[in-house]
Structure 1
Amino acid sequence: MAQLIDGKALSIQVLQQVASDVELLKVESGIVPTLAVVLVGEDPASQVYVRNKMKRAREVGIGSREHRLDADITQNELELLIDALNNDADVHGILVQLPLPAHFNEDAVIASIHPDKDVDGFHPLNVGALAAGRDTLVPCTPQGCMIMLNQIHPDLSGKHAVVIGRSNIVGKPMAMLLLQANCTVTIVHSHTQDIESLCRNADIVIAAVGRRELVDADWIKPGATVIDVGINAIEIDGKRKLIGDVAFEAVAGVAGAITPVPGGVGPMTIACLLLNTTRAVKRQLPRSTVMQFGVEVENS
C-alpha cells in the first residue's frame, strides 16, 4: 500500500513558518502583512474558498480585507478597486477569487494586479519570471505540490515527471517548477496519444484535469509518486463527496506514495497562498530592509 502524503499535516508546518515570518515582520519592521480578497458574485464554492482563506489568514496573524461585490459590476469598476489596492501601502497581497462572472475579461483583471502583490502568481510578469527561472511569486497549488514531492524525494534530479493537464493555474507552472528541480518533464493533455503508456514510464505523476478517477492503477509504474490535484464533487446515497482525478484505492495499491482527496493538495494551496503573502511583503520592502530577513529578491 502506498505511503500517504498528508497535506493537512504538511500545511500545518508551512503555516507555522508563515506565523513565525509574520511575527518577525511585525517586530522588525512594524508591518502587519495584509491580504485583500476580492469576491465578485454569489458563487457558493467561491464563498467557501474565501471563508477558508480568511480563517487561515487570521490564525497566522495576517491581516485580511474582504471586498464582496455584486455580480453585475463592470470591468472598469473592478479594475478601479484593484488600482486602489495596488496603491494602498497597507495592503501587501491581492487575490481576486476566480472564476469571475462571464462578462469579465479575467486576463485583463489579473494583469491589473501589481506583480509584487500578485499572491496567486498569475500575473504575466510573474509567469514569465517563473519560466525564466527567476525568483518570483509562484502559483499556490504547484508550489504546494512541490513541497509535498520534496517530502518523498528530497532530490528530484533526473526523475521523469508526467503532468496531466496544461492549465495556466496548475499544469504549466507545475511543469516549470519540475524543470527547475532538474526533472525530465512530459506534459500530456486531451490531444496526447497513448497517455497511459507515457504515465507508466513516469516516476512522478501529477493529475490536474478535473476528470473524476481518470487515472487508474494500470497507468502507474509500481512505486511511482502520485499527486492528485483534482477535486470533483459527486453524490453518493444523497451525500456530497469529493473525489480526485485518480482512482485512489486502486492506484494506492501500485504507487509508492499518493495524496488523498480531500486532505492532500487542497490544504497546501491555502498554506502557500499565505506563504506568498509574506513573500510579497518582502518584495515590497526596501532592499536594505529585505536583507535583514535573509531573503534576496528582485524588487521591481
Structure 2
Amino acid sequence: MRAVVIDGKAVAAELRSDVRAEAQKLSELGWSPRLVSVSVGDTAAAELYVRNQQKQAESAGVQFEARSYPAETSLEQLIGILQGLNHDPRVNGIIIQRPLPEHIPVKALQKAVHPLKDVEGMHPASIGNIVYNDLALGPCTAVASVEILKTLPLQMEGLNVTVIGHSEIVGKPIAFLMMGLGATVTVCHHMTRSVAMHSRAADAVFVAVGKPGLVTGDMIKPGAAVIDIGINRVETPDGPRTVGDADFDSCAEVAGWITPVPGGVGPVTVATLMKNAVLATRMQMDHYRDSYARTDV
C-alpha cells in the first residue's frame, strides 16, 4: 500500500487557528503580538520568505513589520538595532532573515536577540533549554517536524527514530525533542558508516541534510513515517523543481506516511513561528507583570 501523504498545509491551518485565538486573547489584554523582520543587504533571496511570513502572520492575527538595512551596515550597528528592539515593549518577536552579508556572522546576531523575543528559537539559551526538556521557544523547523510526527497514530514512548543530519538548529534539537517524548533516537551524519542500517530499523525517519534523493525506498522500514525536511532546487527535463532529501516516489512505495516537498514541513514551520510569537508575547506580559507589579496593596 502506498504511503499516506501528510498534508502540512492542513496541519498548519489548524495550528494557525489556535494561534489566532490566543492572539485575540492577548490583544484584549493590551498585548497585541507583533513581529519585526530584519533583512540586511540584497533582500531578493529573502523576499519570498518575508512575504510568506507576513501573509501567515496576518492570517494568525499577528502584526508584522519588515525592516531592511543596507549591506554596508556593520555588525556593531546591527547589534545596536537589535538591542533597541529588545528594549521596545511594542516588539514581541524578532526574525533575522538570511542570507546575510559575508561580514555579518549570523550567530552573533542570534545571540544578540533577547531569549524572550527569540521567536526563531535560535538563541543558545533556547537551544540549551531543549536538553532539559524545557521547551519554551524552540527552533521552528525542528519543533514543526516533531509536531507533524505527533499527529500520526504512533506511540511516541519507545518509538525507534533515526535522525539523518545533526545540525544545531534542526537535527540535534529533533533528537532531544524526541528523547523528551520517550523515543529511542539514533542520529546519523556524514561520518556514519551505514545510514541505511539505522534508517531501516526506524519506525520514523527525519532527514535534513540538503542532498536531494539521499533517502531511497530501500532505506525505509515498511510502514515507517518519513519526515522530509530538505528543500533543494533541481533541474529536470520539465524545468526546475523543488524536492526534498528523500526520493519521494520510492519512499512512498514503502513508508506508511511521508511529507511532501513542498507542502509538508514548510507550512508547519511558518505556523510554528507564529505560535512562538504569541507564546513570546504571553511570556513578556507575565515578565512585565511580575517585575513591575505593585507590592504595597
TM-score in terms of structure 2 length:
0.94
Structure 2 Cα separation of the partners of residues 179 and 72 of structure 1: 43
Q: Does 1:14 align with 2:11?
A: no
| Corresponding residue of 1:260 | 260
| 1:90 alignment partner in structure 2 | 90
CA RMSD of aligned residues (A): 1.5
* 1:181 Cα deviation after fit: 0.6
Structure 2 equivalent of residue 298 of structure 1 = none
Structure 1, unpaired ranges of 5+:
291-300
Distance in 1, matches of 2:84 and 2:5, equals 44
Task: Decide whether aligned partners of structure 1 residues 51 and 89 sit closer, same or farther in structure 2, where only a CA change above 3 A counts.
Answer: same
| 2: CA distance, partners of 1:237 / 1:257 | 28
The equivalences for 1:224-243 within 5 A come to: 224-237=224-237, 239-243=239-243
How much has 1:228 moved relative to structure 2?
0.2
The 10-residue stretch of structure 1 (188-197 or 101-110) with the greater mean CA deviation from structure 2: 101-110
Could you say if the C-alpha distance between residues 44 and 235 of structure 1 is closer, same or farther in structure 2, counting changes exceeding 3 Å?
farther
Q: Is the 8 A contact 2:139 2:169 kept in 1?
A: yes
1:59 is matched with which residue? 59
Give the ranges of 4+ consecutive aligned residues of structure 1 lying more than 3 Å apart after TM superposition: 287-290
Give the drift of 1:242.
0.4
Q: What is the Cα deviation at residue 236 of structure 1? A: 2.4
Q: How does 1:85-124 map to 2 (within 5 A)?
A: 85-124=85-124
Q: Distance in 2 between matches of 1:247 and 1:41?
A: 35
Equivalent-residue separation in structure 2 for 1:235 and 1:43 (angstroms): 24
| Alignment CA distance shift 1:106-1:287 (3 Å) | closer
CA contact (8 A) 2:127 2:169 kept: no
- How far did 1:44 drift? 3.1
Helix, strand or coil: the match of 2:151? Answer: helix
Q: Percent identity?
A: 39
Matched-pair contact (CA < 8 Å) for 2:36–2:67: yes
Partner of 2:293: none
Kindly tell me the number of residue pairs found equivalent between the two proteins.
289
Distance in 1 between residues matched to 2:99 and 2:209, nearest whole Å: 16
Q: How do 1:64-75 and structure 2 match up within 5 A?
A: 64-75=64-75
In the TM superposition, residue 141 of structure 1 has moved relative to its aligned partner by: 0.8
Q: Write out per-residue CA displacement over residues 114-157 of structure 1, whole angstroms, 9 at most, x where no aligned residue.
A: 00000011111111111111242101111111111011145311
Against the structure 1 CA distance between its residues 90 and 154, is the aligned structure 2 distance closer, same or farther, given a 3 Å change threshold? Answer: farther
Provide structure 2 residue ranges, at least 5 long, that are not aligned to the other structure: 291-297
For the residues of structure 1 that align with 2:98 and 2:166, how far apart are their CA atoms?
Answer: 18
Deviation of 1:286 (Å): 2.5
How many Å separate the matches in 2 of 1:49 and 1:288?
Answer: 32
Matched, 1:284 2:273: no
Alpha-carbon distance, 1:108 to partner: 1.3
